[in-house]
Amino acid sequence: MNKIVSLLCGIIFGIGLVISEMINPEKVLGFLNIFRDWDPSLAFVMIGALIVSTPIFHFFKNKNKPVFSSNFSIPTNKEIDKKLIIGAVFFGSGWGLIGLCPGPAITSIALLNMSSAIFVISMFIGFYLGSKVN
């Protein structure tokens, strides 16, 4: 059952990225362009997501177990270290350079766009390099 849930949640997430237009790098770069022509839309995407996910998380986190799995798997790392900050700096610079983050990048493969395909392949190389450092 959790296989079907994984597929379904991917689909819902992907449709969310399309409707919110976060799949379009131009839209994301517009959000990051606060000093000139600013498009605040991305902030509303985050607000929309958080008003659903936050109460649900806090309501269900103390339950015994998830519906289709034996236990909850919640990140336990609380350390604010160099890797967190340096990683976020690298990510932010790549994100600001192109306007794609992992979710929209992978979702945009559906559009058979050559630029986003090159980006995704490079991103997976980055994942691999990052996993070697970790």
Partner 1 sequence: MNIVNFTPVSALTGGLLIGLSVALFFILNGRMIGISGIASNFLVSKNNRVDNFLFLVGLILGPLIYSYTTGKEINISISSSLILLIIGGVLVGFGTKLSNGCTSGHGISGISRFSLRSIIATITFMIVGILTVLITGIL
Query: What is the smallest separation between the CB atom of 113 and partner 1, expressed in angstroms?
Result: 6
Report residue 100 CA to chain centroid gap: 10
| Measured distance CA(14)–CA(25) in Å, rounded | 15
Q: Please give the size of the binding site for partner 1, defined by CB under 8 A.
A: 117
Query: What is the smallest separation between the CB atom of 117 and partner 1, expressed in angstroms?
Result: 9
Query: What is the smallest separation between the CB atom of 51 and partner 1, expressed in angstroms?
Result: 7
Return the closest-CA partner of residue 90 out of 53, 122, 64, 59: 122
Query: What is the smallest separation between the CB atom of 74 and partner 1, expressed in angstroms?
Result: 6
Cα Rg, the chain, nearest whole Å: 17
| Measured distance CA(32)–CA(39) in Å, rounded | 8
Site string for partner 1, 79-118 (x = CB under 8 A): xx--xxxxxxxxxxxxxxxxxxxxx-xxxxxxx-x-xx-x
29 binds partner 1 (CB under 8 A): yes
Residues within window 33-62 making contact with partner 1, judged by CB under 8 A: 33-54, 56-57, 60-61
Amino acid at the residue 62: N
